[in-house]
């Protein structure tokens, strides 16, 4: 039911196609985040129109409400949210560990209190897999522990737990129509990252996620970590960088061998009135756009840019109108999906270095650091 075919490389950059029970995913790919079984302010129809091929949903949040068993009774996530394309669910690990004072970790799993009502719950590798099997996503991931990037001793402990839990996740999985990705941890420490990548590839998963990045480390540290990890991973399986996704991240991380990305930033910034562009982020609430007849980003063919002016979008943003959230979300996601597609085309044409240089040259000319 699952097959990843590598179609071309240009340096470390890759282009491929990942076949799943709900359709093909051309890589590199950006995955819009639908935490609560919905991409905020964007309908499934909008997602199809902007050529999104896969969305992500959140195990922790859907477990708490409306409940994974209810979703299973409704036919699984695809039927529940009206999306017939591929879906990936995370394990809930990052959300659980971000609860800080609300959770307690042991060798078997994590006991935590809900951020909603304080009720007590427990996640183990088996529980996480069971929830994800109820949700019915095409791609599920192992339960892991995401540690602070700058604490070596804690990263050793978290990595060891992540490895033990990965073995249990693989044993607990029962559905053949779901692919299971292992998650590589180890902070920004080269020895731990190498150990984690080698251990998990030794177990043999359907793909590999790189976790524990974009959690406070520098861009240089992120890039150095990817340069350590991706050469260890099998060339014939997909590589997923978790929680990373700005235009410059896509360009630089594809250059280091990553295939799949997700991030809440495009829709989260949209709800603050910000637009992502190739040249950087712009605040659409600024007064300078009050009479600007141009689209959000000249040259963009998304629904928002094809039909509305900056002046109108600013009007919506300053009044906190829902349509403003929708239009900015559509534009921001369209940009990310489009850049991923362009990166793919550049790899297949053997012109990835030229694309990368042109991307950065335009930003340097605009003096953008965002």
The span from the CA of 78 to the CA of 60, in Å, is 18
Contact 36, 80 (CB under 8 A): no
Q: Please choose, from the candidates 288, 323, 235, 189, the residue with its C-alpha nearest in 3D space to the C-alpha of residue 9.
A: 235
The pLDDT value recorded for residue 149 is 80
**DSSP secondary structure string, 233-270?**
S-TTS-EEETTB--HHHHHHHHTTT--EEEESHHHHHH
Which residues are known to be catalytic?
A: 90, 262
On the 0-12 / 13-18 / 19+ scale of CB atoms within 10 A, 299 is exposed
The pLDDT value recorded for residue 370 is 63
Tokens (6 digits) for 352: 């990835």
Tell whether omega for the bond before 146 is within 30 degrees of 0, i.e. cis. Answer: no
This prediction's pTM? 0.97
Domains in the chain: boundaries: 3-263
pLDDT digits (tens, 9 = 90+) for 18-72: 999 999 999 999 999 999 999 999 999 999 999 999 999 999 999 999 999 999 9
Q: How far apart are the first and last CA of the chain?
A: 40
E strand or H helix at 201: helix 190-203
The span from the CA of 97 to the CA of 143, in Å, is 11
Radius of gyration of the chain (CA): 20
The span from the CA of 245 to the CA of 262, in Å, is 6
E strand segments, the chain: 3-10, 13-20, 23-27, 29-32, 55-57, 87-89, 103-105, 110-113, 120-123, 139-141, 179-184, 207-210, 239-241, 260-263, 274-277, 280-283
The pLDDT value recorded for residue 97 is 72
The pLDDT value recorded for residue 101 is 80
The pLDDT value recorded for residue 94 is 80
The SS3 call for residue 40 is coil
The SS3 call for residue 33 is strand
Alpha-carbon distances of 1 from 115, 172, 177, 238, rounded to whole Å: 37, 19, 7, 15
pLDDT digits (tens, 9 = 90+) for 311-347: 999 999 999 999 999 999 999 999 999 999 999 999 9
The segments of the chain whose pLDDT lies below 70 read 368-370
Tokens (6 digits) for 204: 């043999």
The span from the CA of 231 to the CA of 204, in Å, is 16
The span from the CA of 45 to the CA of 144, in Å, is 33
- Which sign, positive or negative, has the C-alpha torsion 251, 237, 160, 31? positive
- Which sign, positive or negative, has the C-alpha torsion 255, 256, 257, 262? negative
3-263 architecture in CATH?
Alpha-Beta Barrel (3.20)
């Amino acid at each position: 039911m699952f097959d990843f075919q590598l179609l071309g490389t240009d340096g470390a950059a890759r282009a491929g196609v990942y076949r799943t029970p709900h359709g093909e995913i051309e890589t590199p790919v950006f995955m819009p985040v639908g935490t609560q079984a919905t991409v905020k302010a964007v309908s499934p129809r909008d997602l199809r129109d902007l050529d999104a091929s896969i969305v992500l949903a959140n195990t922790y949040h859907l477990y708490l409400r409306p409940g994974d068993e209810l979703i299973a009774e409704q036919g699984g996530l695809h039927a529940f949210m009206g999306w017939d394309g591929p879906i990936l669910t995370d394990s809930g690990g990052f959300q659980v560990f971000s609860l800080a004072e609300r959770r307690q970790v042991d060798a078997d799993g994590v006991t935590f209190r809900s951020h909603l009502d304080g009720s007590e719950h427990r996640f183990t590798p088996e529980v996480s897999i069971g929830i994800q099997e109820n949700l019915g996503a095409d791609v599920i991931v192992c339960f892991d522990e995401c540690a602070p990037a700058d604490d070596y001793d804690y990263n050793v402990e978290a990595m060891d737990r992540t490895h033990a839990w990965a073995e249990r996740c693989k044993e607990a999985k029962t559905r053949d129509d779901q692919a299971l990705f292992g998650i590589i941890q180890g902070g920004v420490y080269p020895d731990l990252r190498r150990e984690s990548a080698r251990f998990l590839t030794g177990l043999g998963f359907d793909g590999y996620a790189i976790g524990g990045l974009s959690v406070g480390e520098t861009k240089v540290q992120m890039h150095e970590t990817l340069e350590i990890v991706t050469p260890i991973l099998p060339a014939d399986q997909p590589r997923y960088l978790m929680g990373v996704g700005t235009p410059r991240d896509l360009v630089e991380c594809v250059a280091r061998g990553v295939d799949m990305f997700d991030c809440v930033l495009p829709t989260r910034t949209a709800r603050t009135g910000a637009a992502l562009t190739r040249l950087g982020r712009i605040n659409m609430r600024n007064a300078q756009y009050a009479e600007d007849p141009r689209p959000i980003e000249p040259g963009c063919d998304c629904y928002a840019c094809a039909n509305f002016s900056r002046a109108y979008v600013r009007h919506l943003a300053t009044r906190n109108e829902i349509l403003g959230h929708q239009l900015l979300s559509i534009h921001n996601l369209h940009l990310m999906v489009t850049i991923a597609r362009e990166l793919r085309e550049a790899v297949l044409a053997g012109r990835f270095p030229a694309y990368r240089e042109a991307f950065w040259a335009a930003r340097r000319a605009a003096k953008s650091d965002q």
